[in-house]
Chains A and B, each alone.
Chain A
Amino acid sequence: MLATLVTAVVHGLRGELIRVEVDVAPGLPICHIVGLPDAALSEARERVRSAIRNSGFEYPLSRITVNLAPADRRKHGAAYDLAIAVGILVASGQVRASTGGWALLGELSLSGDVRAVPGVLPMVATLARAGYRRVAVPAENVDEARLVAGLEASPVEGLDDAARLVAGPRGRRAGTATRRAGISVSGGAVAAESPDLTAVGGSVDLADIQGQAHARWALEVALAGGHNLLLIGSPGAGKTLLARAIPGLLPPLAPDEALEQTVIRSVAGRLKAEQGLISERPFRAPHHTISYAAMVGGGPHLSPGEVTLAHGGVLFLDELAEFDRDVLDALRQPLEDGTVEISRAHGSIRYPARVQLVAAMNPCRCGWAGDQQTMCRCPHGEPERYVRRVSGPLVDRLDLRVEMPRVPPTELVGERTAEASTAVAARIADARALARARNSGRPNAHLPGPAGVRACRLGPAERRLATELATRAGMTARGVHRVLRVARTIADLGSREAVTEADLLAAAGFRDPAATPSLAA
């Protein structure tokens, strides 16, 4: 007897419809899965057999053939388990399918429990577009599935639940089958959420950061305008601490961005249970030993990398100079286009990757070049080389460079209270809203040269000053545009319609990222 069910697979950030056909025919008891399955999928037959038996059903002693159509598309993952198992039940006549096609998503455990799978949101969205109205999803994924309008997502906790749903109220045996209770050895339930290692632990409030007035302001400007920021400073200057304040300063995601971010997290399998739409902007801080594939995406299933996970938010690279040159080079495309394309033999995928880069590094290998208390131990010329190594691939994409000295001890133990994150975050949100309204949704940092000049609305005096700045400082065209973009953001922070002379001067006060640091002269 033949049974046909529907499920979906994720490709990039989009789902694709997969039809699961199960045929149970007389013959030697054997189970074939055809249709380009990968290892995890081939192992489904073992999981399915145990799940069926442990859910109170019978595993048919017949020849079982499972076909996944379209047959030419490579399939991976364990999200088909549930559809295969229910297909076998239907094909062997243990469950009679009611009218109305059910789409099924979920991985099975040997006990018949249904486990969460990644990518439920895009898969359900695909099913909805294809006209399916009812979908069974793992209970842990139901919040995510319900973000999709126009279809009814039913949570299932076990194979028996799914069988009952498919059979409908008049189902025969499905009603009586129950899972065997599993015996838990470890006692308590395993914590569902594993700690997210790449997210910096615990956010920091700006009020807790002493000194560094200039760097704080630079961070405010960078976040308000979406400018890529490079922090250079000796160990202990507070670079990482400052970066850890970023999550508390970012404005929440707009609704369309939120959905996109939720899809990305869903595909990456990083959406926690009972977490609906993601509202906070991502802040990703991968370690400098990160591989190329982990940064831009890739691996056997072309999964999204850190740049995609940070889409719409901030990618923080601590110890920038210690990253592999290849990894840094790979950041060019995302920083330029806002997308990243991964091409492999079996296909290519384009992921969104519009990130704001915040990077931190030491001024030299030993870390003390330019420090006033500790002597640099690097050989002569080494500090310049060290900085040039990273500035090469990234310099065109950096708008701001801030050199952070160590905070003097008097200030560390001082009583002076700094401005809190909430006040700064409010200014950043206002400035971003202004910029978005003016630049048709883009932050200032993404304005191309001429558009940036127009956005500044320079008066004659400002134009003169800009010219003088450019000629006296020997700026390149890129440098001029950079200063204008930053000036535009500074004006936005002050809610000024046009860029003033003071804004221009303040913007020019930032070091040019392209200039090598003048530690020696």
Chain B
Amino acid sequence: MEGHGAGTSTDGERDAWISLASAPGVGDRIFWALIAEHGGAKAAIRAVASGVGLTLPEVRIPTRTKDALAAVSRDPRRAHRRLEELDVWVVTPLDESYPDRLRILDPPPPVLYGWGAQGVLSADRAVAVVGTRRPTLEGRALTARICTRLVGVGVVVVSGLAIGIDGAAHAATMAAEGRTVAVVGGGHAHPGPRAHRQLLERMLRTGGAVVTEHAPDILPTRGTFPRRNRIISALGDATIVVEAPARSGALITARHALEQGRLVLAAPGRPGDVHTGGCLALLRETPARPLVGLDELVVDLGYDGDGRASRDAEGAAAHLSLEGALAMLGPVERAVARRLAQGPCGPDALVAATGLTAPVVSGAVTLLLLRGWIQAMGPAYLPSGPLLGADGR
């Protein structure tokens, strides 16, 4: 734990703060109401221990939560022991290091729990990249392209560790050697989907962080995911919705971002396409702006501070690196790679596009997979690594 030191009065208050927030059922609403009523967390715990103080003027506390609060008042150190067991750090609004981006929330999460590098939350440049749990291959490829470019301009990518676009965003960021933050919907004893356990560990190894507003033993539920989306959007200077159908959690993130006064960019799709219906609705009904290209994206985010000339140079460099990378390949692999650089496709499309035979294409695909330039996804292959360098144009 950080800031764990001399027993000054503020430190005692901070510890009480953490104990109080650890009670299951105590969300930010009840927490801040208790603080307001009793003037502090320590006072609130004392009041609960003496059997009074659970009747608040504005907020009704459910019986189960009252029991949980009573249990906390009997053993306030329990929450701290649990944090040490799981090696989770915490940061509260009382701390200097509480991310400024979260202070704009009303109310801010009373405690933020995390694994990994705490400093990454306050990075200069951070962008949330979100989308559906059931993306198309194009959606995945676009996510990878966006994240690769964002890493190129020094951005920390924030997302939700969910299956789909979220996972693709984290993976692509790390593939481009960038840092990434995941905001999960449950406590650290249940961090994200099991299928992403490896991804999570890699994030921590590469200087990223996994944070949540929930105490370690809180289970993720239907309700916690939309709530945590406000933290995702708050931690980013902007939110990019890559792909979202009409009903998608990504839209909630986007609405939070707009309420927080953040920029929202949505990748438009063809009208009538169910996979991007949500993005189009955002563009029509909200001030969200369309994402029209990676260069334009960087401009819209305001990360092109070095002026237009250098941006062109950067774009050219990206193209050069694609051409340079392609030059390293044999003629067959180059033909296959060139097609895949334009977007994901399956082996049949590769055969049709290159005019090569199926065995030859299969061999070329193996080589590209080995080099990490493409990855297999269902019946198709996605561009990856150097093949993401260009805009696919």
Q: A213-B352, A372-B137, A375-B274 are in contact. Are A511 and B359 (CB under 8 A)?
A: no
| 28 contacts across the A-B interface (CB closer than 8 A) | A214-B348, A214-B351, A217-B359, A217-B362, A218-B358, A363-B378, A369-B378, A370-B378, A370-B379, A375-B134, A380-B133, A403-B379, A407-B348, A469-B366, A469-B370, A472-B370, A502-B359, A505-B364, A505-B367, A507-B362, A509-B363, A509-B365, A509-B366, A510-B362, A518-B376, A519-B378, A520-B163, A520-B167
Query: Which residues of B have CB within 8 Å of A211?
Result: 348, 352
| B378 and A403 form a contact (CB under 8 A) | yes
Given contacts A213-B348, A213-B352, A403-B379, 20 further A-B contacts (CB under 8 A): A213-B358, A214-B351, A214-B361, A217-B359, A218-B358, A232-B379, A370-B380, A372-B136, A375-B134, A405-B346, A405-B379, A405-B380, A473-B370, A505-B362, A506-B363, A509-B361, A511-B376, A519-B378, A520-B195, A521-B377
8 Å CB contacts to B: which residues of A173-228? 211-218
- Cβ distance A234 to chain B, nearest Cβ, rounded Å: 9
- Cβ distance A370 to chain B, nearest Cβ, rounded Å: 3
Query: Which residues of A have CB within 8 Å of B346?
Result: 214, 403, 405
Query: Which residues of A have CB within 8 Å of B164?
Result: 520
Q: How far, in angstroms, from A36 to B369 measured CA to CA in the complex?
A: 67
| B358 and A214 form a contact (CB under 8 A) | yes
Query: Which residues of A have CB within 8 Å of B379?
Result: 232-233, 370, 403-405
A390 in the interface, Cβ–Cβ < 8 Å? Answer: no
Q: Binary interface profile of B, 138-159, with partner A (CB < 8 Å = 1, else 0)?
A: 0000000000000000000000
A-B contacts at CB below 8 angstroms, number: 97
- Cβ distance B140 to chain A, nearest Cβ, rounded Å: 8
| B366 and A506 form a contact (CB under 8 A) | yes
Q: How far, in angstroms, from A404 to B171 measured CA to CA in the complex?
A: 26
Query: Which residues of B have CB within 8 Å of A369?
Result: 378
Query: Which residues of B have CB within 8 Å of A472?
Result: 370
Query: Which residues of A have CB within 8 Å of B357?
Result: 217
8 Å CB contacts to A: which residues of B324-360? 346-348, 351-352, 357-360
- Cβ distance B133 to chain A, nearest Cβ, rounded Å: 7
| B370 and A468 form a contact (CB under 8 A) | yes
| B137 and A509 form a contact (CB under 8 A) | no
Q: Which of A218, A375, A405 contacts B245 (CB 8 A)?
A: A375
Query: Which residues of A have CB within 8 Å of B137?
Result: 372
- Cβ distance B313 to chain A, nearest Cβ, rounded Å: 34
A residues at B contact (CB < 8 Å): 211-218, 232-233, 363, 369-370, 372, 375-376, 380-381, 403-405, 407, 411, 468-469, 472-473, 490, 502, 505-511, 517-521
B242 in the interface, Cβ–Cβ < 8 Å? Answer: no
Query: Which residues of A have CB within 8 Å of B359?
Result: 217, 490, 502, 506
8 Å CB contacts to A: which residues of B357-393? 357-367, 369-370, 376-380
8 Å CB contacts to A: which residues of B242-291? 245, 274-275
Q: Which of B245, B358, B363, B365 contacts A502 (CB 8 A)?
A: B363
Q: A375-B245, A509-B365 are in contact. Are A517 and B358 (CB under 8 A)?
A: no
- Cβ distance B173 to chain A, nearest Cβ, rounded Å: 14
| B378 and A518 form a contact (CB under 8 A) | yes
Q: How far, in angstroms, from A405 to B363 measured CA to CA in the complex?
A: 19
Q: How far, in angstroms, from A508 to B368 measured CA to CA in the complex?
A: 12
B168 in the interface, Cβ–Cβ < 8 Å? Answer: yes
8 Å CB contacts to A: which residues of B163-202? 163-164, 167-168, 171, 195
| B358 and A217 form a contact (CB under 8 A) | yes
Query: Which residues of B have CB within 8 Å of A405?
Result: 346, 348, 379-380
Query: Which residues of B have CB within 8 Å of A213?
Result: 347-348, 351-352, 358
**5 A-B pairs with the lowest CB-CB distances in the bound complex, closest first:** A509-B362, A370-B378, A505-B363, A217-B358, A403-B379
Query: Which residues of A have CB within 8 Å of B245?
Result: 375
Query: Which residues of B have CB within 8 Å of A381?
Result: 195
Q: How far, in angstroms, from A509 to B168 measured CA to CA in the complex?
A: 23
Instruction: Give the number of chain B interface residues (Cβ < 8 Å).
Output: 36
Query: Which residues of A have CB within 8 Å of B136?
Result: 372
Q: Which of B136, B275, B346, B380 has the most CB of A within 10 A?
A: B346
Q: Binary interface profile of B, 66-104, with partner A (CB < 8 Å = 1, else 0)?
A: 000000000000000000000000000000000000000
Q: A472-B370, A506-B360, A506-B366 are in contact. Are A517 and B378 (CB under 8 A)?
A: yes
Q: How far, in angstroms, from A469 to B136 measured CA to CA in the complex?
A: 29
| B370 and A375 form a contact (CB under 8 A) | no
- Cβ distance B161 to chain A, nearest Cβ, rounded Å: 12
- Cβ distance A351 to chain B, nearest Cβ, rounded Å: 37
Q: How far, in angstroms, from A508 to B366 measured CA to CA in the complex?
A: 6
Residue of A nearest to B133 (CB): A380
Query: Which residues of A have CB within 8 Å of B351?
Result: 213-214
Q: How far, in angstroms, from A473 to B380 measured CA to CA in the complex?
A: 18
Q: How far, in angstroms, from A407 to B134 measured CA to CA in the complex?
A: 21
Q: Which of B136, B367, B379 has the most CB of A within 10 A?
A: B379
| B377 and A214 form a contact (CB under 8 A) | no
| A216 and B134 form a contact (CB under 8 A) | no
- Cβ distance B86 to chain A, nearest Cβ, rounded Å: 25
Q: How far, in angstroms, from A376 to B136 measured CA to CA in the complex?
A: 11
Residue of B nearest to A372 (CB): B136
Q: Which of B167, B274, B366 has the most CB of A within 10 A?
A: B366
Residue of A nearest to B346 (CB): A405
Query: Which residues of A have CB within 8 Å of B133?
Result: 380
Q: How far, in angstroms, from A404 to B377 measured CA to CA in the complex?
A: 12
Q: How far, in angstroms, from A520 to B376 measured CA to CA in the complex?
A: 11
- Cβ distance A275 to chain B, nearest Cβ, rounded Å: 38
Query: Which residues of B have CB within 8 Å of A520?
Result: 163-164, 167, 195
Q: How far, in angstroms, from A380 to B171 measured CA to CA in the complex?
A: 20
- Cβ distance B370 to chain A, nearest Cβ, rounded Å: 5
Q: How far, in angstroms, from A502 to B163 measured CA to CA in the complex?
A: 36
Q: How far, in angstroms, from A427 to B282 measured CA to CA in the complex?
A: 56
Residue of A nearest to B275 (CB): A375
| B195 and A506 form a contact (CB under 8 A) | no
Q: How far, in angstroms, from A381 to B194 measured CA to CA in the complex?
A: 10
| A212 and B378 form a contact (CB under 8 A) | no
- Cβ distance A491 to chain B, nearest Cβ, rounded Å: 10
Q: How far, in angstroms, from A520 to B352 measured CA to CA in the complex?
A: 27
Q: How far, in angstroms, from A369 to B164 measured CA to CA in the complex?
A: 13
- Cβ distance A43 to chain B, nearest Cβ, rounded Å: 57
- Cβ distance B355 to chain A, nearest Cβ, rounded Å: 11
Query: Which residues of B have CB within 8 Å of A218?
Result: 358
Q: How far, in angstroms, from A82 to B358 measured CA to CA in the complex?
A: 60
